[in-house]
Structure 1
Amino acid sequence: MRKLTRAFRRGEEGQAAIIVALAMAVLLGFAALSVDVGYFMWEKRALQNAADAAALAGALELPESPYWAEEAAQGYAYRNGVGQNGWTLERVDVSTDRTSIAVSVAHPQSPFILARVLDLVGVDVRASAQAAVRSPYRLDNVMPWMLRRSVYETTPNGQKVNLKYDARDPERGNFGPLAIGGRGANVYRANIRDGATVELESYYDTEPGNMVGPTHAGLQDRLSQESQECDSFEEVVKEEPSGTWRIVGGCNPWLPGGEGNRRLVVVPIIDDAGLAGRTQVQVIGLALVFLEDFECSGGHQCTVQARLVKAVAALEGPEIRLGPYNPAVGIRSISLIQ
């Protein structure tokens, strides 16, 4: 009887050892699998970062140059590891309307390392991104002057335009000023100093009269706050080899740290219809300009000139609203949409 009991116990111990061994094998397998899955998740994030960077770089060149958009996207993809260690660039496509670009990258059959003990070989790891050009339809930092559509459409990038005319320019009492948020010299001067907020398709009254004193005072107030690092056109605007113009981040007035740039502003675009007295006009576009020269010495003399800028810029702020790309808006932004 004792021999039978000892034999039975040895049998139980043997079965327990087998169960423990099997459990250990399963646990080791799961541990190996979890390590590999963690690596695949890291690789997925890295591929996603590469796809995001490539799509954003490509979108900078849109809509003017689809060719340069694809070149830039490919360059940024390879700069971020694509083409190495099994990573491949699967797709770079510009949309038919030239306002967005899609990028796909992958590591086909990314190999398992520890989980090979489970007879697992590899898994496809992929990432994709799409970036689009967007235009603001509501924007702050707007000056109370107007630019005619014909001037905006025919003036080359970087050339000067007149925003405020002197009284010798005949337009029946209208010399460029707009009444944004109210009428009168005080509101007009404050809008020059601080900038106003304007939305596309809104209506505003013209502000008749030469407004010599308020124009001079408003510009003096505004430019007294500018930084020396952002007071010239060359410091603020850079032209890429592809021909795309962009706003330098440290001098972007719509980003934190760019408040010292007091010359890069927006002016409403209006139709070319004649103006007489106090006339209501509709904002049909928004032009980005760099304030250059002004002379308001009294009497009839009061002019303001600026350089027209059609450029890419990051836009942040509670007053800003972005919509689809609009060629009537001279400033555009890019963002990931997928």
Structure 2
Amino acid sequence: MKKSKTKANFNHKGSIAVIIAMTIAVLLAMTALVTDVGAMALTRNKLQSAADSAALAGAQELPSNTTQAEIIARDYLDKNISDSYTADVVFSDSNQKISVNITKNIGFAFARILGINDGDINVHAAAINAPARSVVSGLRPFGIVWNPELDFQSNEEVILKYIPNITAEDELGPGNFGSVNLWGKDPQYKYPENILNGTKNHYAIGDGVDTYPGNNAGPTAKNLRDLLDANSGSVTILIPLFSTMDVPGNKEIIITGFAAFQIDDVEQKGNNVDVTGHFVEHVTLGNADLDGTDYGVRAVNLVE
């Protein structure tokens, strides 16, 4: 009887040893998966951040200079990714979109015990540079009705007097001289502050704003000169566009687009103010629209 108990006890201990060994193997496998999967996730996040930054940086050069856009995008990747990787930088047919695709192989630490030595991580990012559908901030309180004959690419000098190349009587209603209220009812942020600093509010195509009646020649000239002095004599301002400003007094008009005007000089002539400059291309913070009308103000967004 004693011999039989000894044998049974030996078999029982052997079974426990097998279970312990299997448990250790499972724990090691789980550790391998958790550790290496965590490392892959961390690396993927870093690669995605690099791809996003590269796409946004490269998109600043679109649509006119895809060569420079690719150089800038790859430079961002080199500065933000350690060790070896492969990357493709491609552009849409319209050159308004840049796509960055990255592949990086990483070696596993613990998964090797399962026979898995390494794995590939693939990330993708895409950004567009297209006409601005909205502007985050910075609009100045001067509205214009866009004249299709004005070319923002020509750098031709323009006198911004009421409305470029159009008489006030043709386009502005009684009591209005081309100013718009972009500060709403904020008592601390009115016309002079709006000229100097730009609006703090977000505006989009389709938004309504009120006209701001009165000539306001003195405040306009003074604050535009101050703005020029603060920017070494030349500054670019963003202006909302409208299909019409022919309304009387303080009335709502609808934004139809955005333009950028580089101011070179401001001259007050009695009750009139001549703002000399030219329309330019400009990239700003906001939402882009690939199908939007291009008035010269474009926005850069991540889209993928």
Structure-1 separation of matches of 2:35 and 2:255: 59
- Match for residue 161 of structure 1 among 146, 158, 163: 158
Whether the 8 Å CA contact 2:171–2:246 is kept in 1: the answer is no
Change over 3 Å in CA distance of 1:18–1:149 after alignment to 2: same
2:113 counterpart residue number: 117
**Within-5 A mapping of 1:4-43:** 4-43=4-43
- Match for residue 241 of structure 2 among 268, 276, 279: 268
Q: Secondary structure at the match of 1:103?
A: strand
Structure-1 separation of matches of 2:21 and 2:168: 98
Change over 3 Å in CA distance of 1:6–1:88 after alignment to 2: same
Structure-1 separation of matches of 2:168 and 2:295: 28
**Within-5 A mapping of 1:1-338:** 1-81=1-81, 85-89=83-87, 91-108=88-105, 110-139=106-135, 141-146=139-144, 148-150=146-148, 152-153=150-151, 156-157=154-155, 160-164=157-161, 171=167, 173=169, 177-178=177-178, 180=180, 194=194, 200=205, 211=215, 214-220=216-222, 230-232=230-232, 264-268=237-241, 285-298=257-270, 301-315=272-286, 322-324=288-290, 326=292, 328-338=294-304
Structure-2 separation of matches of 1:3 and 1:309: 101
The percentage of aligned residue pairs carrying the same residue is: 24
Q: CA RMSD in A?
A: 4.0
Aligned-pair distance for 1:180?
4.1
Unpaired runs of at least 5, structure 1: 183-189, 237-262, 316-320
Change over 3 Å in CA distance of 1:172–1:72 after alignment to 2: closer
Q: Secondary structure at the match of 1:288?
A: strand
Number of residue pairs the alignment of both structures matches: 282
Q: Which amino acid aligns with 1:116?
A: R
Deviations 1:144-179 (A, max 9, x none): 34265355316535x64211169xx98374598336
Deviations 1:210-254 (A, max 9, x none): x3xx12224435766x597x52366x6xxxxxxxxxxxxxxxxxx
Change over 3 Å in CA distance of 1:171–1:50 after alignment to 2: closer
1:240 counterpart residue number: none
Whether the 8 Å CA contact 2:103–2:123 is kept in 1: the answer is yes
Whether the 8 Å CA contact 2:181–2:212 is kept in 1: the answer is no
Structure-2 separation of matches of 1:4 and 1:203: 96
Structure-2 separation of matches of 1:92 and 1:287: 30
Deviations 1:283-333 (A, max 9, x none): 65421124443222426x531223433122224xxxxx6533645332222
Q: Secondary structure at the match of 1:125?
A: strand
Whether the 8 Å CA contact 2:224–2:266 is kept in 1: the answer is no
Structure-1 separation of matches of 2:9 and 2:207: 92
Structure-2 separation of matches of 1:48 and 1:205: 43
Q: Which amino acid aligns with 1:34?
A: V
Aligned-pair distance for 1:60?
0.9
Whether the 8 Å CA contact 1:134–1:324 is kept in 2: the answer is yes
Q: Which amino acid aligns with 1:19?
A: I
Structure-1 separation of matches of 2:108 and 2:204: 55
Moved more, 142-151 or 287-296: 142-151
Structure-1 separation of matches of 2:153 and 2:293: 14
Moved more, 144-153 or 35-44: 144-153
Aligned-pair distance for 1:8?
1.2
Q: Secondary structure at the match of 2:131?
A: strand
1:247 counterpart residue number: none
